Amino acid sequence: DAKTTQPPSMDCAEGRAANLPCNHSTISGNEYVYWYRQIHSQGPQYIIHGLKNNETNEMASLIITEDRKSSTLILPHATLRDTAVYYCIVRVGPGVGSARQLTFGSGTQLTVLP
Amino acid sequence: GAVVSQHPSRVICKSGTSVKIECRSLDFQATTMFWYRQFPKQSLMLMATSNEGSKATYEQGVEKDKFLINHASLTLSTLTVTSAHPEDSSFYICSARVVGLAGGREQFFGPGTRLTVL
C-alpha cells in the first residue's frame, strides 16, 4: 500500500470548515484513498473513500487532485465533537486483494476550538 | 447496520493471568477479522488477521503463543492474552470485514478494549 503523509496536528474554529491534507505521491492506479477518524479511546470510524472523483457524503467531502498524488478531507462545519485523529489510508479498492488490512499512519490530530 | 462489539470494554488484571477479549459482528457475517493494538499516543498496529475456521496470520514481532486468536464462527473472534504482563497494557481493537457491501465500505471497527495489567 502507498505511504501517506499528513500534518501531525491542526486546529480549526468551531463552525468553520476543516481542511485536512494528505500526500500520497506513490499511489498506484488501483488504489483508493480512505479516511477514518478516531475519537479518543474509541475505535476508528469510517468517513469516506474515493478513487479519483471527488466524493461527498453526510460527514465530509473528499477532494482528490487530478494526478491523485494528494487529497483533502473537508469537514464543512466543524463541531467540537469532530475533535479526533484523522487517518488518510491508501490501499487497493473494495473487494480487491483478499483480506487486506488497513495500515494506519500517524494521522492528523484535529482540535476544534470553541 | 454493520455493528461490531467488543467485550469487555475495560479490564484490569494481575500480572501472570490470562485475559480473553471477544469481538462480535452483530448484524453481519465477517469473512475476516483483524486485531490491532494501540499504545498511548501511537497509531494502530495490526497484530493478526483471522479467517473463520482457519489459523490466524500474525504480523512480524507478534508472539502467536502469547496472543491466541480463535475465530470459531463468522460472527465471533476472540483474542486471549496469555500470562499478561504490564507491557501488554494497551488498547486492543478489532475490525470485521464483509465482502460485497454496497458502497464499498468493507471494514467496521469495534469500540476497543482497554487492558491494564498490574
Chain B: closest CA distance from residue A27 (Å)? 19
Q: How many residues does chain B have?
A: 118
Interchain CB distance below 8 Å, A95 and B99: yes
**Coil, helix or strand at residue B27:** coil
The DSSP code for A5 is B
Q: How far is CA B59 from the centre of its chain?
A: 13
The pLDDT, as a whole number, for residue A1 is 65
Q: CA quadruple A60, A107, A80, B93: dihedral positive or negative?
A: positive
Interchain CB distance below 8 Å, A41 and B109: no
d(CA B53, CA A99): 15
The pLDDT, as a whole number, for residue B31 is 80
B71-93 confidence digits (pLDDT tens): 888 899 999 999 999 999 999 99
Residue B102 has pLDDT above 80, yes or no: no
Write the residue in A45, A95, A99 that is nearest to B100 by C-beta: A95
The pLDDT, as a whole number, for residue B59 is 94
B4-35 confidence digits (pLDDT tens): 999 999 999 999 999 999 999 998 888 889 99
